[in-house]
Structure 1
Amino acid sequence: MAEPCPGLALRFQRRFLAARPLRSLPWPELEQSLRTAPDSALLADILHKTILHPLCVKYPPSAKYRRCFLTELIKKLESTAAEPLDELYEALADVLKEEEESTHCYKNYLLPSGDCVSLCESTALISGGTTGLLTWEAALHLAQWALQNPSLFRGSQLGENLQLNGLSPEPDGTWSPQTESQGQEGEGQSCQTPKVIVAELDWGSVTEKQLLPLRADVVIAADVVYDPEIIVALIGMLQKLSTSRADRKAPEVFIASTIRNPATYQLFQAELDKAGIRWQVIPSHSSCNFLCDVQPDVTILQLFV
């Protein structure tokens, strides 16, 4: 027997594993399919490609997300004349048995190459008095642009996400002016496995001497233009990155932003002009491997520092 609606199950899989908003999953298509052929085999296929998928078992979305997803699947099942699906109820029971909601969850992004990027994120919008502990839309747009321009990147993540994706941070997990990060290159290698460092960088106080060991070729940032008070410090740090290079070759700089406050974003552009930094808008893409919704208020600027 042919697999029921494989395309539909895979669309559920990609969005579920990435923990995209439940409303964005293809529920109307599922309802239509069940009305045409009320068969629990389709729901079983979706269940195995989502909740029971090895990635979900190892790196699960939040319990609340999984609970709501399973509840919705059960509603779809019970609205048809399809045979009951015990696996579906058992999966919900397993999620309900989890003692407490974890402070962390995972998002798994399936790439066209067949690889996966797994990210560990905080379930709280604000944690420890700060934001930025989860993936923002501008970061997804920037990641999609990076996929379309692979020659610029060797692929690095932060913190625990380095290890989730097979990368190794420096032993002490810190950076100082004495440490460097270089790719491990070898003849005949089609790709490189980089050494990666995770470091705190104070834009306002960092010096050119401290930046020199980084030897940055490409600078990418997402959702960093949100507060007027940090814009001048950000631009100053980018200028120092440019002048600190021994070869005086400026790094390529790409900044993705969700324009929440047009006045703040216009201030950023005005300060760039004042500093003599040229910039141009990178054309937006029509699709996203990271399942980001195409939004008119997300933009990527290339800076010429």
Structure 2
Amino acid sequence: MAPEDHEGATSLLQSFERRFLAARALPSFPWQSLEEKLREPSGSELLLAILQKHEAVPTEPLDALYEALAEVLMAKESSQCHRSYLLPSGDSVTLSESTAIVSHGTTGLVTWDAALYLAEWAIKNPAAFTDRTVLELGSGAGLTGLAICKACYPRAFIFSDCHGQVLEQLRGNVLLNGFSLELYTPTDPSSPKVTVADLDWDEVTAAQLSAFQADVVIAADVLYCGEVTLSLVRVLKMLSACQRMNAPVVYVAYTIRSQDTGKLFITELERAGIYWEEVPPHAGQLFPYEEHSAIVILKLVLNGCHSVGR
């Protein structure tokens, strides 16, 4: 197999592997690309590579394995599943997520495309997070923050959300990925690196936000209705006021699902005097989100600027 053919085959295999581990729907797999590759003269070598990568151990399966498989097939379908997202280092972020888009009255129990896109951007731009304290607003299942913790080496990371079921799942996912979880004490140099905070945007105070001493604030896919958007801008204004001399840099990622998505947010940012600029799109897809999704990352500067807009 020629070097360029080998590189293309490797990329295709990785695409299948990433989607499989992330439990993506079968129609999202690159079947057409696979069919085209198999039709090439080197297609038999690709097929052999697939079989060698996923071949079974050259012994007869144990009866216990068949029994375990039977138990799985007969079991009641679970409302939770585990998904793994591979990192460039070879490590992965493994999450317990809901199998339903809406569960327990929230959409925060699954990973959304903008969270994957923001995590991908962070991995490609680690200097924005290295040795800094990061506060994530609306962490959901925790994919973005866990990817940053594993690949960007922040000094501390504060996950936050306000829904009880989301917080429970989030704490479990932090532990699942090997991080300890204790109370956050920013003045104690020996304090744990990772924590989960119950943070309601409508009730949080400036003093509570200031205590986090965040250098960077991130949020992904949180602009899903006007009420939530206004609450988010309220939090950003408080962050700007309570840390005026050292206000954090903010990155907000969202998927443009309609013409109105993001418009209210930008309008309210300009009304609040918060400078914003769109982060240039990055090349090379790492995670299995919808390739044709229109996803935007805005970088916000909460102090030191009086002009708004790009």
TM-score higher than 0.5: yes
In structure 2, the gaps of 5 or more residues are 1-5, 131-148, 150-156, 160-169, 303-310
Q: Which runs of 4+ in 1 moved over 3 A?
A: 8-11, 28-48, 181-185, 293-296
Q: 2:253 aligned with 1:241, yes or no?
A: no
Query: Could you tell me whether the CA contact under 8 Å between 2:16 and 2:29 is conserved in 1?
Result: yes
Query: Could you tell me whether the CA contact under 8 Å between 2:181 and 2:192 is conserved in 1?
Result: no
Note the alpha carbon deviations across 1:101-140, whole angstroms, 9 max, x for none: 2211122111111211112111111111111111100101
Q: 2:277 aligned with 1:277, yes or no?
A: no
Aligned counterparts of 2:192 and 2:51: Cα–Cα separation in 1: 40
1:38-117 matched pairs, under 5 angstroms: 41-42=48-49, 44-48=51-55, 94=69, 97-117=73-93
1:85-234 matched pairs, under 5 angstroms: 94=69, 97-153=73-129, 155=149, 156=157, 158-170=170-182, 179-181=184-186, 195-234=193-232
**Counterpart for residue 190 of structure 1:** none
Note the alpha carbon deviations across 1:62-114, whole angstroms, 9 max, x for none: xxxxxxxxxxxxxxxxxxxxxxxx98xx98x9276351222111221111112
Secondary structure of the equivalent of 1:168?
A: coil
Aligned counterparts of 2:234 and 2:300: Cα–Cα separation in 1: 13
- Cα offset for 1:159? 1.7
Distance of aligned partners of 1:40 and 1:182 in 2 relative to their CA distance in 1, 3 Å threshold: farther
Query: Could you tell me whether the CA contact under 8 Å between 1:9 and 1:45 is conserved in 2?
Result: no
**Counterpart for residue 138 of structure 2:** none
Which piece of structure 1 moves more, 139-148 or 290-299?
A: 290-299
How many residues of Structure 1 are paired with residues of Structure 2 in the alignment? 249
Residue 54 of structure 2 aligns to which amino acid in structure 1? L
**Counterpart for residue 288 of structure 1:** 285
**Counterpart for residue 152 of structure 2:** none
Aligned counterparts of 1:253 and 1:39: Cα–Cα separation in 2: 44
- Cα offset for 1:41? 5.0
Distance of aligned partners of 1:100 and 1:125 in 2 relative to their CA distance in 1, 3 Å threshold: same
Secondary structure of the equivalent of 2:198?
A: coil
Secondary structure of the equivalent of 2:174?
A: helix
Q: 2:30 aligned with 1:26, yes or no?
A: yes
Residue 180 of structure 1 aligns to which amino acid in structure 2? T
- Cα offset for 1:181? 4.6
Query: Could you tell me whether the CA contact under 8 Å between 1:216 and 1:241 is conserved in 2?
Result: no
Query: Could you tell me whether the CA contact under 8 Å between 1:17 and 1:109 is conserved in 2?
Result: yes
Residue 45 of structure 1 aligns to which amino acid in structure 2? Q
Aligned counterparts of 1:213 and 1:162: Cα–Cα separation in 2: 22
TM-score (norm: length of structure 1): 0.70
Query: Could you tell me whether the CA contact under 8 Å between 1:228 and 1:267 is conserved in 2?
Result: yes
Query: Could you tell me whether the CA contact under 8 Å between 1:217 and 1:250 is conserved in 2?
Result: yes
- Cα offset for 1:183? 9.0
Query: Could you tell me whether the CA contact under 8 Å between 2:216 and 2:249 is conserved in 1?
Result: yes
Residue 94 of structure 1 aligns to which amino acid in structure 2? L
Aligned counterparts of 2:207 and 2:25: Cα–Cα separation in 1: 44
**Counterpart for residue 298 of structure 1:** 295
- Cα offset for 1:263? 2.0
Pairing partner for 1:257 from 254, 257, 272:
254
Note the alpha carbon deviations across 1:212-248, whole angstroms, 9 max, x for none: 2111111100111111112222111112122223x72
Aligned-pair identity (%): 44
